[in-house]
Structure 1
């Protein structure tokens, strides 16, 4: 069928509607023509009957342009061959009405779930690979007497390299579930968001850099900033908490977005500490949401054996190579299921490792 024939078929809809329908189908149907300019078998363009069934389905839907509704309506028009031609899995068929869905910006999409983002880490967009300059040493000041010489010194520099690591979630979902009011796409999307957020948190804290995985916080800590606890008594906890705050400060790290991150079990242990019958941290933690005056975030994605402090969480670089992409694929039609795929690409780097300290238990 040529453009003029299709336009005549739907002219009863009115010129504007006909033009919009034909233009939308033409733009959204890549590959419908073969190399010899012939339409593919089964395409809605292959015959007047096929395009007629496709058009009737669209008209019958009205404003309801969901994938499931389109299939249900299409079954009411034409013979078996025509019904078979209207397939969601083909872009040159009914697939023109089912665009790939893409979420909003990654940080906004995951902010309610991801502990790292609650801590105020720095989000850094990049593509493929990003090199960032970093100062690793300073020049030295020295007093000198008359006739004495001062040793030469100069600041030292290095670089951080962020490389894209790809993470995926692939799940098959029953179309019956997707059609269920109140669950459907919203329920599946919520589950994927939580899954991706949890996976990113796990990698951001615990990633070991093996295989395709990135390195996380605990693999990049400066060994001099990590120390074993002196005990679990009230005095020991107080001394260790004070030392964790002190270490970044004596390393000349400017305090900005300071905060703690710890496992809920460790937070419970802190709240239960007493001295002379009085709780040490409990009231501050419950009333102000702070430990020693600094806010804290609880997550099961950090080990229960660690309490970690950072003088400025913006020194943690949360590299975003590719925003979260959600797409639907009708690859399991025989099971009446839809495959949902989520992809994200990113990396994690500590800009100033001495900004962090960690107590191990």
Structure 2
């Protein structure tokens, strides 16, 4: 358990160090500034210290393994026998996280009972894993799932959350805080003669700090499912848990105006000058012109254009997909063929509303290089459950006890930031398809 946590911390430190060198490379492959070099050296020192701790832990485990005795199953004529090694079967991603959750929920968060339940239903390995979970000190009645299984769960969110799917970078943030450099203005290089000093570039950098914000998701699960042990049921429960977190992440990471409790979304992180207004009277000419304006805002900012994409509502995507030119031909055939627009993938989500503006019929379209969006994940998920709680179901209060359900509460921690705010632009007041 401790080795897993140490390796996660090491990954976070190395990721921060790599960002320092990547920034310099992107700025014309320049040398590190004095301050950047100091930050880099500090990260390397910290990494070396963590690596030394990992080495000591691995040495202890190796010595323990050397003292383990084989399990004797009989004494045939040829000598004592042992149990032959059986290769472990790889479980689908998120399975162990869900088994832990289901066991704790089935036993009303009683860890000892949950460990016995897990051992009876899924075997000794799962029972031992449940028994070794760490009870959280900051969430009463909750359990902090070990990082190895929480990280597996967080990785599964990538295809379900639009900004993650389009290429936002997940940065390990095991300590809950991360500070790094970000670029606020591009680099200008120049040619020089022999033995002449290099020109001073106009790159400007700032500081970006991320601190863990707490996301709570309530997911009701029928007790019939919790009592079942098949892999199909486990995957169904896993998908329910993922959906509960993904829906909220999707809305927050796109449009949220952050504060001390919530992360900023893409709309709040981009430059004010990159928020454009739709041209009135949409037609093929004005629509293509507006799409060009949004792209140019990003392209002219000299961002790397590593992982660019669009975010829009289903109404907007369907409008563009069915739009025709004067000859009756589909104007954007690639949308229907492969889900791209001008070669860039489209992230369609209902988290972009269609009821904005004074008339209640406006929407938004986003474009950007999502490799410049960072999501700091603590990669730790805390769970709690109750079979007597009440929850809000689209404005209707429901009782878990009356419905024979167990409400599982997941708590995840993360924050967002951009390496380059000019990497994103948006079109507001969009009435396409209204």
Confirm or deny that 1:200 pairs with 2:249.
Answer: yes
Change (3 A) 1:138 1:110: closer
Per-residue deviation at 1:256? Answer: 1.7
The residue aligned with 1:240 is 290
TM-score, normalization by structure 1:
0.65
The residue aligned with 1:343 is 411
Larger Rg: 1
The residue aligned with 2:317 is 267
Per-residue deviation at 1:309? Answer: 1.0
What 5-or-longer segments of structure 1 have no aligned partner?
Answer: 1-14, 18-65, 72-86, 144-150
How many Å separate the matches in 2 of 1:179 and 1:158? Answer: 52
The residue aligned with 1:112 is 159
- Residues 105, 324 of structure 1: 8 Å contact kept: no
- Residues 150, 379 of structure 2: 8 Å contact kept: no
The residue aligned with 2:274 is 225
User: Alignment length, in residue pairs?
Assistant: 274
Change (3 A) 1:120 1:154: closer
What 5-or-longer segments of structure 2 have no aligned partner?
Answer: 1-70, 74-100, 118-129, 134-144, 192-198, 355-362, 390-399
Per-residue deviation at 1:279? Answer: 3.5
Per-residue deviation at 1:205? Answer: 0.7
- Residues 172, 338 of structure 1: 8 Å contact kept: yes
CA-based RMSD:
3.6
- Residues 313, 348 of structure 2: 8 Å contact kept: yes
Per-residue deviation at 1:201? Answer: 1.1
The residue aligned with 2:364 is 306
Per-residue deviation at 1:222? Answer: 0.6
How many Å separate the matches in 2 of 1:244 and 1:223? Answer: 13
The residue aligned with 1:164 is 212
The superposition leaves residues 307-331 of structure 1 with CA deviations (integer Å, 9 ceiling, x where unpaired) of: 1111x21001111023344455688
The superposition leaves residues 47-89 of structure 1 with CA deviations (integer Å, 9 ceiling, x where unpaired) of: xxxxxxxxxxxxxxxxxxx999xx9xxxxxxxxxxxxxxx875
Q: Secondary structure at the match of 1:105?
A: helix
